[in-house]
Structure 1
Amino acid sequence: MDARDALASALTLAGIQLPAMDIRTPWPDEARYALVHLGPCSAPVAHALAAVIAKGVSR
């Protein structure tokens, strides 16, 4: 959940809002790790997210 919250905060600061972000575990009874499910996103949001990531990498 911390990873999801950190990603959501970073995206919000970058002006990007995804329609859904939740946590899914592959095993219902045991949380070995969780997947951050981003939900569907539009092409403009995908481009904005790619630009933010590229900008961060270039720092």
Structure 2
Amino acid sequence: MEARHSALCAEEAEDAVKELRAELAKAGIVLPSLGLDPVSLAREAPCPLVELGRCSVETARRLAAVLR
């Protein structure tokens, strides 16, 4: 049962990353390091975290503008 839950959590996290990537792309924003945090996936009972990663200053400003 726990393995099934972990698999569903990972699948849900991957879907969230895809959704975020698509929405950012619509706004003209690319976060090159966007993905799942491998450390959170390696735990005995994975609870995936989304890694937003690094971006350029220009990208950070564009992201801030979209959030405003």
The bucket for the TM-score relative to the shorter chain is: 0.7 to 0.9
Tell me which structure has the larger Cα radius of gyration: 2
Structure 2 residues not aligned, in runs of 5+: 1-13
Paired residues, what number? 53
Normalized against structure 1, the TM-score is what?
0.74
**Higher-strand-fraction structure:** 1
Structure 1 stretches of 4+ with a deviation exceeding 4 A read: none
Normalized against structure 2, the TM-score is what?
0.66
Q: CA RMSD in A?
A: 1.6
What does 1:1-59 correspond to in 2, within 5 Å?
Answer: 1-24=14-37, 25=40, 28-31=43-46, 33-54=47-68
Structure 1 residues not aligned, in runs of 5+: 55-59
